[in-house]
A = this chain, B = another copy of it.
Amino acid sequence: MSLLTVGSVAFDALETPFGKTDKIIGGSATYITLSASYFTKPNNLVAVVGDDFPQSMIDIFHEHGVDTQGLEIRNGEKTFFWSGKYHNDMNTRDTVEVQLNVMEHFDPVIPEAHRHSEFLMLGNTSPAIQKKVIERMAVRPKLIMLDTMNLWIDIALDDLREVLTMVDVITVNDEEARQLSGQYSLVKAAAAIQAMGPETVIIKKGEHGALLFHGPSIFFAPALPLEDVFDPTGAGDTFAGGFIGYLASTGDVSFNNMKRGLIYGSAMASFCVEKFGAERLFNLSTDEINERVAKFVKLSAFEIV
């Protein structure tokens, strides 16, 4: 089934203990659509960039079957830029610089052909924009998933709480779940967030895996233990893209299928961290993905006798 992703397409400059990059392609919608491209089509993208955004990067979207008619290119303006530096433990990072540029007045225009998309992924942007996107759809999608971050909990909580009443799934990391709910226990945090609207709450714990709360049911997907994490940038978005891409490909939003989606999302995230930025998502094969998923089965399967 069709998927529409709305979020940022950006330039990132990254520094990790393993090295540093100049401006490379980044942004939530970049990671989400590239990850989802291995599962589902049509794969629609709505975002905004400046006229400094290179055609070669748009070509990468096209090679992955991403429909970019909703990618607005604003003349005389510059693409959103973020640079960050990771600490030695790779779990924490500092933002070095942010240039909002075109994102400052982002007002997403949904192409007519995308307004009937059956799955909607709201990448991390302001809750006010996320709400506008939902209102601009021609019909209510079969499933709406939203990602957010601590910034919006700090400065736009009322807007966030409003859009949360309109979505089916929210993904947050453990600290954001605690901040949004005021609960330390993730079980209590998920219940509190469910009471705000979304029936399904996914709490990402990075190298410690992800928890899926669906109504009263809980499922846990481990992260793959890796020898090295080269660059964690975009891992959460890649996870979200694999999850919703898999759901869209099957059209099945049952709890059992969401479990599988969580595993596919975790597998995609485990690729993402192996190289800088989104590079590892450019050339994956179905075999590689299936082999990676088989590792998750081996890692967590046991039989009680």
Chain A residues close to B by CB (< 8 Å):
88-89, 184-188, 205, 208-209, 211, 217-222, 225-229, 256, 259-260, 262-263, 293-294, 297-300, 302-305
| Bound Cα distance A256, B298 (Å) | 11
Leading 3 A-B pairs by shortest Cβ distance: A208-B208, A259-B302, A220-B222
Contact A219 B187 (CB under 8 A): no
Q: Max chain B CB contacts within 10 Å: which of A226, A302, A305?
A: A302
Contact A187 B302 (CB under 8 A): no
Q: Across the interface, which residues of B come within 8 angstroms of A294, CB to CB?
A: 304
Q: Out of B211, B256, B302, name the residue touching A219 (CB < 8 Å).
A: B302
Contact B185 A226 (CB under 8 A): yes
Name the residue of chain B whose CB is nearest to the CB of A305.
B260
Contact A304 B260 (CB under 8 A): yes
Q: Across the interface, which residues of B come within 8 angstroms of A226, CB to CB?
A: 185, 187
Contact A225 B302 (CB under 8 A): no
Taking the closest CB of chain B, its distance from the CB of A202, in whole angstroms, is 13
Once A208-B205, A220-B299 are accepted as A-B contacts, the answer to whether A225 and B304 lie under 8 Å apart by CB is no
Contact B225 A222 (CB under 8 A): no
Name the residue of chain B whose CB is nearest to the CB of A190.
B225
Q: Max chain B CB contacts within 10 Å: which of A185, A217, A220?
A: A220
Contact B218 A260 (CB under 8 A): no
Taking the closest CB of chain B, its distance from the CB of A213, in whole angstroms, is 9
- Supply 16 A–B pairs (Cβ within 8 Å), ascending by A: A89-B184, A185-B226, A185-B228, A187-B225, A188-B227, A205-B208, A219-B299, A219-B302, A220-B225, A220-B299, A222-B222, A256-B303, A259-B302, A260-B303, A260-B304, A262-B302
| Bound Cα distance A211, B222 (Å) | 10
Q: Out of B185, B227, B293, name the residue touching A304 (CB < 8 Å).
A: B293
Name the residue of chain B whose CB is nearest to the CB of A257.
B305
Contact A304 B297 (CB under 8 A): yes
Q: Across the interface, which residues of B come within 8 angstroms of A229, CB to CB?
A: 185
| Bound Cα distance A131, B260 (Å) | 47
| Bound Cα distance A205, B205 (Å) | 13
Taking the closest CB of chain B, its distance from the CB of A149, in whole angstroms, is 21
Q: Across the interface, which residues of B come within 8 angstroms of A185, CB to CB?
A: 226-229
Q: Across the interface, which residues of B come within 8 angstroms of A302, CB to CB?
A: 219, 221, 256, 259-260, 262-263
Taking the closest CB of chain B, its distance from the CB of A253, in whole angstroms, is 15
